[in-house]
Amino acid sequence: MKTIIARNVNDALKQGIKLIKLNGEEVDSRVGKTLEIPCPVATVYQSPWERVLLNKERDANPFFHLMESIWILAGRKDVKFLSEFNKRIADYSDNGRTFNAAYGYRLRNSTGTVNSDKDQLLQVIEILKKDPTSRQAVAQIWDQEDLSNNTKDKACNMSIVFRIRNQELCMTVYNRSNDMVWGAYGANAVQFSMIQEYVAAKLNLPMGEYTQITNSYHVYTEGAGGIVWDRIKDQLETCENPYIKCPNLVLLCHDEMLDFEHDLNMFFNIYDNESWGLPEIGELSCWRSEYFKHLVIPVLCVYLIHKKYGAEEAMSYINSIYADDWRTACNDWLSTRITNQEAKQNTINK
């Protein structure tokens, strides 16, 4: 097994690029050629709350990553919400309406009812409250039916194990197959660190290390994945830690968990009632938690302005996002859209 010990996702990507370039072997897959590490890889995040990938070359979509993570915490499996931020995500649905292996639904809705006695996150929280030394706080994502199910959406991440050590909540995620660029150091670093943050806040504990163990650690060298790999493989190895410039973060805390859960339910109630709109969504007085008031809602408003009026108009509202990391990532993503549009227009004008 190879082990990457990283401060955060930006550090992990830097080390992952080097690992793939030194040790990657060509392996065919059902969706194209890959470079794969010939053994499992463990990534250990020492500061998992530094979860936002901040690099223009990678061009990760921070709006999608944040909203998908909120969607997971809400225990949902609908295609419609995620498609607001990433139209291509619908390609992974069998029926165009729901996902087969939605992580949040499997973790929180085993019986189809949020906060039921089958909510695995609430169960592991109770286990660790009763016995902080427990080694049985396991949340399962992979299902036996996945072995034979003919679906576009099979769970890549299989299980999450939590434990309390040195008065910190540590977490290990077991993964069967992970594209380093799109999965491991894109969506997963946000999704699972937010799950860890949620459980830690409920337990009134700081976050400890987050370890992700990947059985097949690879990058795609063809198609869209290959284009991104070619763009970043020689550009990120020497990048400095961008979190040095991000002192202001917005994180969950124990004292506001009731407010956060109120806001999480309200957020999706508003969406399901199709009452999202500008400026109404940003002006509602119902938001109680700092997390929604200073992060989720400002990020959403900037994105909605981008969709309705364009990236340049959205940039005018970017400073409404208090968190330095998310604001920087959103700013970079919008700037790239503006640059691409200008280049396209210049080509048309020639």
Catalytic residues: 156
Distance separating alpha carbons of residues 35 and 124, to the nearest angstrom:
36
Burial class of residue 322 in the structure, from the number of CB atoms within 10 Å of its CB (0-12 exposed, 13-18 middle, 19+ buried)? middle
Amino acid at 348: I
Residues whose CB falls within 8 Å of the CB of residue 175, separated by 6 or more in sequence, listed in order: 156, 157, 158, 184, 188, 212, 213, 214, 215
C-alpha angle 85/202/269, rounded to 5°? 40
Cβ atoms of residues 5 and 46 within 8 Å:
yes
Q: Phi first, then psi: what are they for 75, rounded to 5°?
A: 75, 35
DSSP three-state, residue 41: strand
| Strands 157-165, 137-140: pairing kind | antiparallel
Q: Which residues contact 338 (CB under 8 A, 6 or more apart)?
A: 311, 312, 315
